[in-house]
Amino acid sequence: MLAQNQNERKSISQKILDWWNAHFYEIAMFSIIFLTILALFGLFRLWQVTPKKEPIRIEASKNQ
């Protein structure tokens, strides 16, 4: 009962801070995974639209 009364007296910012502290690890891991997938997708799209270069062909002269 005492804990419930103390919880009701907490300010909104304190409740938000408590929630953030309790879930920081999950938020950080989700952010890292999401940004990694986003970066890989961006690199894949960049690789897809990059024009392909023709290989350089060195032809021997026919006089030799």
Residue predicted with more confidence, 2 or 35 = 35
Report the domain count for the chain. 1
12 part of a folded domain: yes
Window from 5-9, 27-31, 43-47 with minimum mean pLDDT: 5-9
| Residue 18 and residue 10 in contact, taking contact as beta carbons nearer than 8 Å | yes
45 part of a folded domain: no
Q: Mean per-residue pLDDT for 36-61?
A: 88
53 part of a folded domain: no
20 part of a folded domain: yes
Q: Is the pLDDT of residue 6 over 80?
A: no
Question: What are the CA-CA distances from residue 63 to residues 16, 57, 58, 60 (Å)?
Answer: 82, 18, 15, 9
pTM: 0.56
The token duo for 50 is: 């990059």
23 part of a folded domain: yes
Place of tokens 């804990």: 3
Non-local (6+) Cβ contacts of 50 within 8 A are none
Per the prediction, the chain carries an average pLDDT of: 86
63 part of a folded domain: no
Q: Which domain holds residue 26?
A: 8-37
32 part of a folded domain: yes
